[in-house]
Amino acid sequence: MHETGLAQEIIEILQDVMCEHQNQRLLTAHIDVGELVAVMPESLHLAYEALTSDTALQNSKLQLHILPILSCCRSCKKEFNVTSFQFACPHCGSTELVVLSGNEFQITAIEIE
């Protein structure tokens, strides 16, 4: 399951960040996830929960922000969101596209107390 590997990467980064905030507790990590990363949110949450059990990150939460796939057509130069993984321009039908976003996977903010 690819979500377990992603959860482990998140945990390693969060543990490093929390070392800088000694005596504080992580409440929530906000993560931008592009649709192209193909993450199953429930699986990522479950993996994170299991891997943080009995650690300093236990009971912290992930808040996932799913980002759409944004493309630009090379033929007509129009930007559009790709829906249902249909990689064709809805304006002119071209499949000559540039993906502008949708492959992100990054921690954007944390909430601590």
CATH classification at residue 16:
3.30.2320.80
Q: How far apart are CA 34 and CA 70, in angstroms?
A: 10
Q: Which domain holds residue 81?
A: 2-112
Q: What mean pLDDT is predicted for residues 96-109?
A: 96
Please give the pLDDT value at position 22: 86
Q: How far apart are CA 60 and CA 14, in angstroms?
A: 11
Q: What mean pLDDT is predicted for residues 4-16?
A: 96
Q: Residues 66-96, buried b or exposed e (16+ Cβ, 10 A)?
A: ebebbbebeeeeeebebeeeeeebeeeeeee
Please give the pLDDT value at position 59: 96
Count of domains observed in the chain = 1
pTM of the predicted structure, to 2 decimals: 0.85
Please give the pLDDT value at position 1: 60
